[in-house]
Amino acid sequence: MEKNQILGDGGAARHRRRRLAVLVAGGVVALVLAGVAAMQPTDTWVRAREAVGRIMEAGRALGAGWFFAAFALLPAVGFPVSVFVLAAGPLFAPVIGLPAVLALAGVSMAVSMTLSYGLSRYLLRPWVERLLAFLGYVIPSVPAGKRRMFVFLVRVTPGPPYVFQSFLLGLAKVPFSTYLGISWPTATANIVLVIVFGDALMNGRGGVALAAVAGVVAVVFSIRALRRRAAAKAVADEAGGA
């Protein structure tokens, strides 16, 4: 199933324009920030580092329980997952250890995905349908034999935010076991690598950080290859059916 089938023709066009605008705006902002940063005296960076340290201490003081409970609940209703993913390692790996952080992040993702599925398929279905329609997403009818591939393609298609992906899959009435069995490992693979990268960067372990980046790149290219293969197979199946 191609991206325009997931987003709709109009949604795909809007997505391309949006992505180009975001890239241009991001480039301009990055250049401005780099110029401003280059003009700052050393004392500014010292104070900034101290402020970051105080924020991190305040986050740790709240406790890992509250942090990972928020990690499980807030992304299910649209809060950016990246905030938790980037903060988890630096905040709590020194306290509870990196393996525990990775395990709790995985559990949080499973809970978040379950909540999003339940909200979109059962509790808030009419409102979620209207929201996705307003944003240009089409709710497809997925044949039973193509559900696994559909879930995978939705999860690896760049553009739709995480929560919209979950809502789309819930509205498409994909069975929960298929939804979670493919969504969770697909999303968690990247999350684990990003958490490891953040923890290594904060602790000056350059080799581990580079290995994590290489892992993320490898996952991205593997996903692209799988997407191309899946798209080619879908086209071949449609041609054979015709």
Q: Can you give the pLDDT at residue 73? A: 93
Q: Can you give the pLDDT at residue 126? A: 79
Q: How far apart are CA 86 and CA 65, in angstroms?
A: 17
For the chain, which residues make up each domain, given as ranges?
Answer: 3-237
Q: Can you give the pLDDT at residue 172? A: 82
- Express each pLDDT in 145-198 by its tens digit: 788 888 888 887 766 778 888 888 888 888 899 999 988 988 888 888 888 877
Determine what percent of the chain is predicted with pLDDT higher than 90.
Answer: 13
Amino acid identity at 194: V
Q: Report CA 127 to chain centroid distance, whole Å.
A: 23
For residues 213 and 107, which has the higher predicted lDDT (pLDDT)? 107
User: Binning pLDDT at 50, 70 and 90, where does residue 242 land?
Assistant: low
Amino acid identity at 80: P
Q: What is the pTM of this model?
A: 0.66
